[in-house]
Chain A
């Protein structure tokens, strides 16, 4: 039985960590300062990275003139900044996983079998193990091919500048997520806790939630509210996956998607790499939609030496485009981790020049959030080792993310963020569930401590 109105297709743009060129530390002339200020005003809604990219190009040449002390200071600061950005990604990933785990443990709706998506048509209720394995592999093939087709479609659209189409698609999918899925979620939570609720109140709540979400994600809003909404929709998406993907298919899909991510981002003709390069050529941010951004941009004006803080409105549409209509649901999950290299400042404060001080931010695609949460959620839903397995997967994913960010700092180019974490997560899931669990259970039964 296939559920009809509520599945989303996913077109996952794989996660990639991307570094744009990082401009050197330099002080700015008055003219460029003014022009960049004007830029921000005129461009208005355009993301700030544009100007930073332009400025990067301008100040590339000055990089050579830095002296060695600035170099070593930078290294020290870059280590601390690197650690800071790792934590800036740990926190939202942890929050998303906590939301998913809390829901899975309390609301039984998401662990009940309720049918399958049309992208995984083969059932797993078969008699033999071999048949089940075959079915799950076939499901995976279908799912991955849907994702590949959708990604290529998206890249083609982007290349031919069909921005309106893409934006419309993104808006439709985030509408579906913010209204329909959150309504379902709220309904299930009320059922679980036996809360009586009337429709007018519910309509008001959902309307407010959804409308503020659309504004925050697609237009402007406080950074933290935007981040919160992105985390919430990632969690909702992950919960839908956990419910509708059959067990073995889910694990095989997770594995296959990491491999696809690796290929799509690193191969020269991979769709995601082409997307990244096209965006870099055009000096545009890569789909602010569906990317979680943690950057804060500060600009110090010339007239007042007070810092005027502008939240980085990346016009992040939700990372997951959840196509809503029954025929054309495509979900774009961009898994791109992009360190926004705004200029990282250490300007002389004595001059009256306009100082641009921007903190380097980091961006992670929402598809990453989704798949990490799917892994941890599935681990907590189906593992008999319960909390041990969940904890092990959680730590494994965080360490994988840390390693990926370390590689990003070393290689400074687009990197997929899924493979390492998902590999660690899968390894730890299966080994903890099958090896560690009996050991720890026996120890706990005798109250032995290791």
Chain B
């Protein structure tokens, strides 16, 4: 419950995402704009799902705790579905905008490819989702208090931070896979993305048994990461070449004058 907890949890939760942003997105203004637009879309989806949940709570019995918990679970599921719907909507909007821009400029190449858009929009969703989940918790971790004074888990802050990191990276992977699946019209892949999102969210119902929620979430994250890597064009060969600095395309690209 000090600044060290605050900084530690902040860096755990946002470290990978911020470094991704700084190294790959911050230089290119178009990508930044699409990142913020992605965050906005996530926000709108959250708004709608909260609206539905709020109305449901108002018309229900507020005293009954199990009803409230049931409504919360319903809210979570609805929110996940709405998020994926808005991801699809964002994809459609980007496709239409890109087509419009191409028609306008009579260019063959789009200024930003759909794969980059997938990555950037996924990260935008992830940023906003992570921020909304964890920022209030981080703010509380600064100020005086005792963790778990009523018998709750002592690891509340750290587990929240790790879960947030997983969720942010997951959103990015889901974005890449989702857009790729929509491009190639593989609807089964889209369904798998939605189901995995539902799985991760429903696993969080097991909290505070963190073994049940964190570990499977990280397993799902690694699997989705590998799937996203391969759908973005990566392979073991590419990876080896890149890691041993023998990838000519990569090296040439980095030496190209800006």
Contacts and interface: CB of A to CB of B under 8 A. Distances in A.
Contact of B135 (A84, A388, A428, A442): A388
8 contacts: A75-B106, A79-B101, A387-B135, A391-B132, A428-B47, A442-B72, A443-B76, A446-B205
B196 interface: no
B195 interface: no
A450 B132 CA distance: 10
Given A443-B133, A447-B159, A447-B204, 20 more contacts: A71-B106, A72-B107, A80-B29, A83-B30, A87-B32, A87-B33, A90-B36, A395-B36, A395-B40, A396-B43, A432-B47, A436-B47, A438-B57, A444-B136, A444-B137, A448-B207, A449-B133, A449-B164, A449-B204, A450-B83
Interface string A84-96: 1011001000000
B101 A450 contact: no
Contacts of A440: 50, 132-133, 136
Interface string B89-121: 000000000000100111100010000000000
Contacts of B132: 388, 391, 436, 440
B50 A439 contact: yes
A395 B39 contact: yes
Nearest to B101: A79
B201 A435 contact: no
A395 B38 CA distance: 10
Contact of B136 (A71, A79, A90, A387): A387
A80 B107 CA distance: 14
Contacts of B205: 446, 448
> Interface range on chain A: under 10, 10 to 19, 20 to 34, or 35 or more?
35 or more
B209 to A, nearest CB: 10
Contacts of A395: 36, 39-40, 43, 128
A399 B40 contact: yes
A398 interface: yes
A435 B51 contact: yes
Contacts of A449: 133, 163-164, 167, 200-201, 204
A439 B54 contact: yes
Given A399-B37, A435-B47, A450-B80, A80 B30 contact: yes
Contacts of A443: 72, 75-76, 133
A303 B129 CA distance: 56
Interface residues of B, number: 53
A402 interface: yes
A79 B54 contact: no
A68 B105 CA distance: 10
A337 to B, nearest CB: 16
A75 B43 contact: no
Contacts of B39: 395
B36 A402 contact: yes
A392 interface: yes
A310 interface: no
A448 B107 contact: no
Nearest to A398: B36
A428 B43 contact: yes
A431 interface: yes
A440 B133 CA distance: 7
Interface in A214-271: none
Contacts of B208: 447
B159 A396 contact: no
A181 B196 CA distance: 54
Contacts of B79: 450
Given A388-B132, A391-B135, A90 B32 contact: yes
A76 B37 CA distance: 21
B154 to A, nearest CB: 13
Contacts of B141: none
Nearest to A435: B50
Interface in A371-399: 386-388, 391-392, 395-396, 398-399
B137 to A, nearest CB: 6
A432 B83 CA distance: 16
B237 to A, nearest CB: 33
Interface string B123-139: 00000110111011101
Nearest to B69: A446
A396 B47 CA distance: 12
A388 B204 CA distance: 21
A448 B72 contact: yes
A259 to B, nearest CB: 23
